[in-house]
Amino acid sequence: MAFTSFSSGNTSAALALIMLLVCGAAIVAPVSAATKYLGGSPLFSASVIGVNEFTPGQDATISILVKNSGVNIMKQVDQGTIEAEDLPTTAKFVRIGLTSDSDAIVVKTDPQMVGDIPANGNGVTVKFHATISTNATTGEYQLPLEIGYEYPRILQQENAEIFEYAYNSADDTLPVTIRIKPEVKIEVIEAVPDPLSAGTEGYLDLKIKNTGPENGSMASVKIIRSGNSAIIPTDSTVFIGDLPSGSVAECRFKIAASADATNQTYPVDVLVSYTNHEGTVVTSDPETIGIPVNAKTSFSVISPVAAVSAGSRSIIEVQYRNDGNLTAYATQSKISPHGAVTISNNVAYLGDLQPGKSATARYDVQVDGSADPAVYAFDSKLRFRDALGNSQESDTTIVNIQILPARAGTVAGLPVAVVVAGLILVIVAAGIVLLANRRRKRLQ
């Protein structure tokens, strides 16, 4: 067998050739290839989601969906070695604000930073709080939605290991449409209540005007207690039928004032429930009106303190005055006796008492001879009727009566001479009866 041998010079040449082949392969085959987009930019659209109809005077929340539907219009493959992190259609550092060119709508939310919005994604939802003016007219309103953003600029990659980032600034304005829908808007042009005091009832006459653009049908006027107001509706709903725009309706309610009411004006809410042109039952915003109320009617005794001697009987006069602000009709007073004092007729009729006027009650008072001299307080109350004929009762009014000592030379409050004369008359009468009986017996 023959063997082929290589010299050391041949070995060195072979190693050099292998190294050249390896380096050549490295130069021919790139590490990686990147795709570049050479055209395109963000393209925004905006739409209201949820409620886009509001009524005058309403505090509104407007929810807007902003989407980016930008399209890359040119793509270059196998260019460069670094993939761009942002596409030309990506909106960066987006700021969104809603404005209004009309006094009818006041936007209260400042512009909002929402970050990045990539193309063909889910978009972002932004919410703005606004107030609809009470004078806003029916119709559609275009609100400018202002969008500020940046997007990547198309640059040539000069170096395979370096990628330069640069951005274009842009501003877009999109119209957002909301609608102010018609409604019945009420105005109470007249409110006439009966005079009321604490614990009494009366009527409330209202004139309601529809100042809104909507024609209401199957309408009912309602009054509602406002919080803890002392005015409490007794009849709360009155059906008035059709209520065209600009028309006036009249209605009457019965109301009551709570027993703890004081001299002041208390609120009550008025609203209208109706069927609108779409057949939907709607309730208008309430309007608050004030009802004056007087404190509970009170009485006082203005006559001097009556005096009655122990062991005697006397007619006393007590003068009552109406200290309230309303007339007390068919007034009666009643006094409660106690202890050694009795009153034969303790009820007196005083008639109608206007505010500040007085009337006199007369009571037949008997005082036992054992009563100690002093000023005694007696409870009295007055019952009367209010303007609607409802029976009312006053708080307790104190009547003071002074009990004097029994008169000197009296027996049980009567002068001794009178008592003696009475005894003589009794004895004489008894003697006459006795003589008559004896004479009758003799005749028999």
Q: Where are the domains of the chain?
A: 36-157+164-180, 186-293, 299-406, 415-439
Tokens of 174: 């999109």
Q: What's the confidence (pLDDT) of residue 330?
A: 96
CB atoms closer than 10 angstroms to residue 320: 26
Hey, which CATH number is domain 36-157+164-180, 3.40.640.10, 1.10.1740.10, 3.40.1230.10, 2.60.40.10?
Answer: 2.60.40.10
- Reported as type and span, the H/E element at residue 375 is strand 374-385
The full DSSP string for 31-56 is S----EEEE----EEEEEES--EE-T
pTM score: 0.60
Q: Is the pLDDT of residue 421 over 90?
A: no
**What fold is seen in the domain 186-293?**
Immunoglobulin-like (2.60.40)
pLDDT digits (tens, 9 = 90+) for 112-136: 999 999 998 899 999 999 999 888 8
Q: How far apart are alpha carbons 174 and 171 in whole angstroms?
A: 10
pLDDT digits (tens, 9 = 90+) for 173-230: 999 999 998 889 899 999 999 989 898 889 999 999 998 888 999 999 999 999 999 9
**Residue of higher predicted confidence among 426 and 227:** 227
Hey, which CATH number is domain 299-406, 3.30.70.3280, 2.60.40.10, 3.30.590.10, 1.10.10.410?
Answer: 2.60.40.10
Examine domains 186-293 and 299-406 and report if their fold is the same: yes
